[in-house]
Amino acid sequence: MTSSEPIRLAYPHQRNDCDVCREYDADMIATAVYPPGQMEMSSRPQCLCSRCAGAVLAMQVLYGGVVTVTAIAGQSSARPGEVR
């Protein structure tokens, strides 16, 4: 590698892109779907780091949401799945 070649990141997203803390790199994308009338929250996907995921996912499940978690491409630490 010469000094003129760009540095390529090992993952396909920005640094410090966790939607909660903005301090760590996101490892997963979580989407919560709530029963009609239960929550008027947006089911916008959230990028989460491993540090923030526990509290956020627990809160979404506590409020009755069905949460789908998908690993961000290139991240092998998180596995896709669903929490009910």
pLDDT top residue among 76 and 22 = 22
The whole-angstrom separation of Cα 18 and Cα 37 is: 28
Whether 5 and 12 have beta carbons less than 8 Å apart is answered as no
Over residues 1-54, the pLDDT tens digits come to: 555 565 555 555 577 889 999 999 888 999 988 888 776 666 788 999 999 999
Cα separation, 15 vs 3, in Å, equals 22
Q: Strand pairing of 46-48 and 28-33? A: antiparallel
Give the pLDDT of residue 80. Answer: 54
Residue 50 is encoded by which pair of tokens? 């491993």
Residue 57 and residue 20 in contact, taking contact as beta carbons nearer than 8 Å: no
Top pLDDT among 84 and 18 is at 18
Specify the pTM: 0.67
